[in-house]
Amino acid sequence: MKKLLCLVLVLCMTPLFALADTKDVLNTESELPIVTEPITLSIFGKQGAIHAEWSTMDFFQKYQEMTGITLEFNQVPSQGYDEAKALMWTNDTYDDMLVAPGLSGTEIIKYGDEGVLLPLEDLLKEYAPNYTALMEKYPDVEGRITAPDGHIYALAAIIAVNAARTQKIWCNTAWLEALNLQVPTTFDELEEVLRAFKTYDANGNGEADEIAIAASDLSAWISDFAGMYGLQYQFGQEMNLSEDGKTLTSWLTSDEFKALLQWSNKMYEEGLMDPDIFTQEYSKFNAKMSGQMMGIFFNQADDAFDSTNYIGIAPFAGNSDTIYVSSGPVARDMGTFAITCDCDYPEAAMRWIDYLFSEEGSYLMRYGIEGKTWTRDENGYPVYVDGILNNPNGSGPTIAQFCIWPGGGSPQYLNDRNCIAVCSPTTQAAQAALDPYMDFVLYAEPLFDTDVNERLLILDTDITTYMKSCAAKFIRGEMSFDEWDTYCSTLESMGLQEWVGIYQERLDTYQ
C-alpha cells in the first residue's frame, strides 16, 4: 500500500510539494546555509568496512553546521548490507536520502517505477547548478543516469580525472637498466624486453622466478591489451563504435580479437606471461606488486607498491593503426544518491547533495575540515596534513575516519585538483603516457527497463562465460585456432546480435 501511495505522490508531485510549502525553508540569498530554519533529513547508506561511524566524521559534523540541516544516520555496515538493503525496500517508511547506497540499475528502475525513488530531473534543473553544469560538460553522464522512461532517479559519482579511470602500464626501470634495455614502444620491442626479463634473476636467489608481464586476471589482460588492437569498450561491453558514431559491432568474433588471443598464446607458450591470471585472487596479484616481482604489469595506481623503480609507459604500437586506452566512464559509480518519496524537503535534499559537486564542496567531501586535516598549496588546492597519506595504517583507512568516500560508491566529484589520495604524482605522470589515446567518444553503460535487464542478464551470462572459457583455452593451447569458426558460430547462436541490438537501440536514442 505504501509503495502505491508513493507512486501517487510522484504522479502528483508538483501540486503536493506546493501544498506542503517545503520551499519556504530554503535560503534563496546564498548557497549556505541551505535552509533559513533548522530541518532534519535522515540518510540510509552503506558504511564501508574501514569507515568510522558516520555521525562522528568531521565531514558530516561540519556539513551539518554549514547547511543548517541536522542528519539522522541509518548507515549499515558492509557485512550484511545487501540483506539490510533488501529489507529496507519492504518497509512502509523510508529515510529521506539514500547516500552511498550501492543502488543497482535494476533497483533504480524498479523503485523508480514504483514511486519509492523520486524523479530528480526537475529538481536538478532548479536546485543543482553544480551537478547540472557537470552534466553539460560531460554529456555522457546524462545518458548514464537517465532511465528509459526519461526520468532520473539516482545520481552517479563524477570521476572527471582520467587517472582514476584507467589501468596504467607499469614498467620496471631498474630491470631495464640492469639489462641495458630501453622502454618498449612496439610489440616487437616488448617481446624482446619480456624475453630478457624472463631470464633475469632480479632478486639474486639463483632462480629466474620473476614474472615478465602480468595482469590481475584474464578479463583484465584482455581489456588491457584490447585497445592496442583497435578494440573499444562501448557501453562497458566488448563493442566498437563506427567512425560516424552510429553503429555498434561486437568484436568478440573479430579478426582483431583473434589476433590478440594468438599473441597471448605465444606469450603463454614462451612462459612470458603470468600463468596465474586464469585463477588468482586480486590479493595474490597485490602481493606480487608489493613484492616487486613483475617487470611489466597493469594497475590503476601506484598505491599498492613502491613505484620508485617503475614508470608508466604508453601502449605498444604495431597491431593497429588506431590505439585506444580502455577507460571507465566519467559517471563511473552509479546509484550513489537518491531521494525517497518520504522526504518532506526534496529541494533542500537536492541542494544538500549538489554542494558536494562544487569545487569547495568536493574539498569538504574528500579532505574534511580545512585547517584540521588539510591545508592549501600555493595554487589554493587542497593538500592533506602530514600523517594522513603517509599513515602506517594506510591512507584510505585514515581518511575514512573523517570522510565518507574511501571504499567507493559515494556521491563524489573527483577532479585533477582533489585527487591526490587516489592519484599520486607518479600515477598522474603514468596517465600522461595514456592521454593521447583517450580522445574518442565513449558511451557508459546505460539503464534499461526491467524486462530488457532480465534478457541482458541471460545474454551477458551466456556470452561472457563462454567467451572467457574459450579465451583461456585458446591462450593455453587447449583449443586450436582452427576451431575459431566454431567459437564464432556458437556465440552467434547464443544471441550475440540480439545482445548488440539492445545497445544499438539505446545508441539510436542518442542520435
Alpha carbon distance 182, 173 (integer Å): 9
Pick the closest to residue 351 from 89, 78, 111, 97 (CA basis): 97
Is the confidence at residue 72, as pLDDT, over 50? yes
Q: What is the pLDDT of the chain when averaged over all its residues? A: 93
Confidence class for position 20, pLDDT limits 50, 70, 90: very low
Alpha carbon distance 58, 48 (integer Å): 16
Name which of 10-14, 16-20, 359-363, 481-485 the model is least confident about: 16-20
The three-state (H, E, C) secondary structure of 144-195, written as one string: HHECCCCCECCECCEECCHHHCECEEEEEHHHHHHCCCCCCCEHHHHHHHHH
Residue 16 has a pLDDT of 41
Is the confidence at residue 24, as pLDDT, over 90? no
Q: Give the pairing of strands 168-172 and 310-313.
A: antiparallel
Residue 18 has a pLDDT of 38
Is the confidence at residue 14, as pLDDT, over 90? no
**Average of pLDDT values for 394-413?**
95
Residue 11 has a pLDDT of 47
Is the confidence at residue 119, as pLDDT, over 90? yes
CB contact at 8 A, 67 and 361: no
Residue 2 has a pLDDT of 53
Is the confidence at residue 17, as pLDDT, over 60? no
pLDDT tens for 286-312 read: 999 999 999 999 999 998 889 999 999
Is the confidence at residue 33, as pLDDT, over 70? yes
Pick the closest to residue 130 from 400, 439, 356 (CA basis): 356
CB contact at 8 A, 203 and 294: no
pLDDT tens for 359-396 read: 999 999 999 999 999 999 999 999 999 999 999 988 99
Residues in the chain: 511
Residue 6 has a pLDDT of 57
Residue 19 has a pLDDT of 37
Count Cβ neighbours within 10 Å for each residue of 184-204 and write b for 16 or more, e otherwise.
beebebbbebbebbbebebee
Name which of 15-24, 228-237, 502-511 the model is least confident about: 15-24
Is the confidence at residue 121, as pLDDT, over 90? yes
Three cell numbers written together for 425:
604524482
DSSP tag of 436:
G
Q: How far apart are the first and last CA of the chain?
A: 40
CB contact at 8 A, 479 and 470: yes
Is the confidence at residue 131, as pLDDT, over 50? yes
**Average of pLDDT values for 312-329?**
96
C-alpha angle 496/499/500, rounded to 5°? 90
Is the confidence at residue 10, as pLDDT, over 60? no
pLDDT tens for 429-478 read: 999 999 999 999 999 999 999 899 999 999 999 999 999 999 999 999 99
pLDDT tens for 167-204 read: 999 999 999 999 999 999 999 999 999 999 999 988 77
Residue 92 has a pLDDT of 85
Confidence class for position 208, pLDDT limits 50, 70, 90: low
